[in-house]
Amino acid sequence: MDDPRAFLESLLRAAIAAAQPSICLPPHLPEPPKGRTVVFGAGKASAAMAKAAEDNWKADISGLVVTRKGYEAPCKHIELVRGGHPVPNEAGFEAAQRMLSMAEQLTEDDLALCLISGGGSALLPLPMAGLTLAQKQEISKKLLKSGAPIGAMNCVRRHLSLIKGGRLAAACHPAKVVTLLISDVPGDNPMDIASGPTVPDTTTCADALAIIDRYDIGIPPAIRTALKLGTAETVKPGDPRLAGNTVELIATPRMALDKAAALARQGGVTPHILGDALEGEARTLGQDMARQALASTRPRPCVLLSGGETTVTVTGDGRGGRNVEFLLSMGIALHGAENVYALAGDTDGVDGMEEIAGAYLSPDTLSRAQQKGLDAQQSLARNDGHSFFGALGDAVVTGPTLTNVNDFRAVLLL
């Protein structure tokens, strides 16, 4: 193969294309209601989802959607707000207040079309009574650095919110609620996508408190009391306010991996999908993937594809994200092994806090780094993957992708 990097980047682009709202949303739109259609949306893909809904709707439509800066889409009738991500901000807070108020004004003749995607947890912050936005921001920062898996983080987020954990759907009652989801979470559980504002929650206040204590997340005493007493409980399965509502997954990590696999096969490279829900510490998965690559007896050329969402327990002061952390760890474990190439990136175009999707790893990555005076072990210790790969010209930058089906990893064996 003449250009492994171009091949791997083409697979990433194919995965992203498979989850574009303009393609995957229209077939799932419901029939217009007798009354109004009001769109509520949150997430990195929500603006593009709103535009796709507008473009294909055969009746009047209005609403409010909160997305990340750079992820806007030109909607004519649905209002767009730019919230804060990954840390909530005042704009998202105000939008969440307005959204809940709009929901409470719906009637039984109306339809709430809820367009939810990854990133919505941060973009739609409405702290529970007794918790300020500033306190919620601090809790969010601690959760992001804790190494907690996404399911655990979203359990906490649901129970500290007035709009998540089914509360937005409950507020829409008696209107019909149709939720269309683009999944960015391992397992595709709707209650974990944007912390489930329109779906019932099977976790409890006690679960949230146990996670807070396990990861040493400081919370105000009054909030701890509310969790102990269960007064912050979310909407549960069987709640009559959610009866008749529908929830559909319109794009998932597996769909993206399948699209990448099909493209690889067309190029004469045999794909092997290892799973779409891989979790755990990014550096540990990187070591595991290196071992798999070195021990593989699969006929070559082949590509090992995987998705999911790893975690990073942040102890350093570098510029990093879970995908570049994975690649740094993998590169160290491979130690320049021949004919092994890899790419890892977030399908939303943002790895960690940076507008960088991920990076590319090749057999000569470590040797080129040494020539530039870079130490891979030190970079890993500092959680500084973006600086490391950026200095080598191996950062992968997609720009805003307008979708989000979690991490994409491809390991090419030649």
Site of tokens 């890993």: 380
Among the candidates 251, 285, 313, a domain finishes at: 251
Based on the fold, state whether residues 93 and 175 are members of the same structural domain: yes
Residue 371 lies in a domain: yes
Residue 158 lies in a domain: yes
Based on the fold, state whether residues 9 and 35 are members of the same structural domain: no
Strands 340-346 and 302-308, sheet pairing: unpaired
Residue 22 lies in a domain: no
**Number of independent structural domains in the chain:** 2
Based on the fold, state whether residues 243 and 264 are members of the same structural domain: no
CA dihedral 17, 19, 23, 28 (to 10 degrees): 170
Look at phi and psi of residue 373 and say left if phi exceeds 0, alpha if psi is from -120 to 50, else beta: left
Based on the fold, state whether residues 54 and 199 are members of the same structural domain: yes
Residue 68 lies in a domain: yes
Q: How many Cβ atoms sit within 10 Å of the Cβ of residue 143?
A: 22
Among the candidates 251, 278, 299, a domain finishes at: 251
**What CATH code is carried by the domain that includes residue 125?**
3.40.50.10180
Residue 190 lies in a domain: yes
Based on the fold, state whether residues 236 and 279 are members of the same structural domain: no
Residue 343 lies in a domain: yes
Based on the fold, state whether residues 211 and 63 are members of the same structural domain: yes
Based on the fold, state whether residues 71 and 146 are members of the same structural domain: yes
The packing angle between helices 133-146 and 150-159, to 10°, is 160
Based on the fold, state whether residues 128 and 206 are members of the same structural domain: yes
Kindly list the distances between the CA atom of residue 51 and the CA atoms of 26, 56, 58, 63, 181, in Å, as whole numbers in the listed order.
10, 9, 13, 11, 15
Based on the fold, state whether residues 41 and 174 are members of the same structural domain: yes
Based on the fold, state whether residues 267 and 401 are members of the same structural domain: yes
The boundaries of the domain holding residue 265 are 4-14+254-413
Based on the fold, state whether residues 258 and 244 are members of the same structural domain: no
Residue 26 lies in a domain: no
**What CATH code is carried by the domain that includes residue 262?**
3.40.1480.10
Q: E-assigned strands of 62-165?
A: 62-68, 78-83, 111-117
Based on the fold, state whether residues 234 and 116 are members of the same structural domain: yes
Contact 366, 346 (CB under 8 A): no
Residue 215 lies in a domain: yes
Among the candidates 230, 251, 272, a domain finishes at: 251
Q: Determine the Cα–Cα distance for residues 386 and 394; give it in Å rounded to an integer.
A: 9
One digit per residue, pLDDT tens: the chain, 414 residues? Answer: 899 999 999 999 999 999 999 999 999 999 999 999 999 999 999 999 999 999 999 999 999 999 999 999 999 999 999 999 988 999 999 999 999 999 999 999 999 999 999 999 999 999 999 999 999 999 999 998 898 998 999 999 999 999 999 999 999 999 999 999 999 998 999 999 999 999 999 999 999 999 999 999 999 999 999 999 998 899 999 999 999 999 999 999 999 999 999 999 999 999 999 999 999 999 999 999 999 999 999 999 999 999 999 999 999 999 999 999 999 999 999 999 999 999 999 999 999 989 999 999 999 999 999 999 999 999 999 999 999 999 999 999 999 999 999 999 999 999
